[in-house]
Structure 1
């Protein structure tokens, strides 16, 4: 017996950013528009057609028109996400000379999950924030600017997929249950010290199998993922708090301020101090 799926009429253009515990679309559904889903922080499971994907902070999901999908927050922890929904008519005709590439072809490749580097995450989040500002505040010319921003985003996705036509990430019909547990554990204990050996022992999985399966399910190595979670939290503390950088480094799990500074710059493209100066709320 086939599972039922709900149909929703897509918006011509809609974008929002929310931190939440439960999905507002818990059922299997589809709509007559394109969807771009970006997980800012946390970890969730995203079902697209008959495949399940472990989605962690810094990952983009692209959903084609009429593609059945569903978001499940199995960890029970809060997550922050940006959802962008649009119809092709929204940007049709704005670049009439752009016949050399099909900007929407990325949605039909059957590879809905795109892992972004730290610098790409920063750039994408900034673009999304600009989109949200234009969409909600509606300053003069906002619609034209939104069309340009959306085209830039689609071009970025197109180029990213063309340069990585066969990502290292494997599609998994069943997400490995242990990886779910480990990702959830790391999201709650990122401030503690972890090694592959210790995690493998705690979760009764061999180190080599753990490394292979973790990468297949998340798109990140264990160290990349842990650093990503730590730096995301550090970014939040730098922009919303007043603690010293050394205090923040220690609170997110770095034993050395130098190591923290190096990893922070690797992921964001700037030093913690520069980041605080640029983005302080």
Structure 2
């Protein structure tokens, strides 16, 4: 992906694509409306004026609170943008990501200042004047530094167990810990003493994912890590990621990442 992308979108009822984790940072600002935002193993009610910080390779998804329209601004940027600023840039610019403070709720002058930066970035991109990339990067650096300083002064927004049994979050944590083992709808329903139909409905309402979609994403994310960090054969990566067969692993991997495991490994080695 390009080093830095910013986009603004107005939309009615909408859920993000099923398979959503990636190797870049993301900042999401809700201009108006309300959204549920599931991040890793928690769910948040996002309201206008909220900034959301998604770290690299964090599983996340937004979905509807109601049928009302919402407007958001989304920034995506690669690690190279921060690395190019020097060895101390991560320490100063990525505090919301490194401290896992996913949500900053902005009011008053803080909100005005951040919105001015965001709309300035959009104008730089739209007008594409000479040197607009440098201008956009400078504004993003200012935004990240401002938000990193705010983290120490602002209380984190609490995760909200919306419209469901808190047991669903227990199940999410269980999946995150035991994804390497054989997990089925029936086995989890029996282990947590809930009916399969209720489990399917409540899991989808809470996370935005179906059970199988979520499990596959967790397993594929681990497979990508193994492909990047080890020299394991693909068949061993499949087994250690929780897949029963290498053929099934290959199909799911391609569905989630749009690449084969070998293509993914080759690309990762080229990037290093």
- TM-score with structure 2 setting the length: 0.56
Deviation, structure 1 residue 104: 1.6
Q: What residue is the counterpart of 2:119 in the other structure?
A: 129
**Alpha-carbon spacing, 1:102–1:127, altered in 2? closer, same or farther (3 Å):** closer
Report the Cα distance in structure 2 between the residues aligned to 1:176 and 1:119, rounded to whole angstroms: 33
Structure 1: runs of 5+ lacking an equivalent: 1-9, 178-281
| Alpha-carbon shift at residue 99 of structure 1 (Å) | 5.8
Structure 1 residues 99, 67: CA separation in 2 closer, same or farther (over 3 Å shift)?
A: closer
Contact kept? 2:31, 2:48, Cα under 8 Å: yes
Q: Which consecutive residues of structure 2, in runs of 5 or more, have no partner in the other structure?
A: 165-272
2: distance between equivalents of 1:159 and 1:23?
A: 32
Equivalent residues of 1:11, 1:33 under 8 A apart: no
Aligned partners of 1:59, 1:52: CA distance in 2, in Å? Answer: 14
Q: How many angstroms apart in 2 are the aligned matches of 1:122 and 1:83?
A: 17
Shift of 1:16: 0.8
Secondary structure class of the residue paired with 1:133? helix
Taking the aligned partners of 1:145 and 1:57, their CA distance within structure 2 comes to: 26
Preserved contact between residue 13 and residue 68 of structure 2 (Cα < 8 Å): no
Deviation (angstroms), 1:39: 0.3
Compare the two structures and name the one with the higher helix fraction: 2
Equivalences for residues 11-90 of structure 1 within 5 A: 11-23=2-14, 25-90=16-81
Distance 2:75 2:35 in 1: 17
Shift of 1:170: 2.1
CA–CA distance in structure 2, aligned partners of residues 79 and 133 of structure 1: 21
CA RMSD of aligned residues (A): 2.1
Residue 113 (structure 1) aligns with = 103
| Map of 1:175 onto structure 2 | 162
- How big is the shift at 1:110? 2.2
| Aligned residues of 1:49 and 1:67 also touching (Cα < 8 A) | yes
Q: Partners in 2 of 1:150 and 1:99 — Cα distance? A: 13
Change (3 A) 1:97 1:72: closer
Q: TM-score, normalised by structure 1?
A: 0.54
| Range moving further from structure 2, 34-43 or 13-22 | 13-22
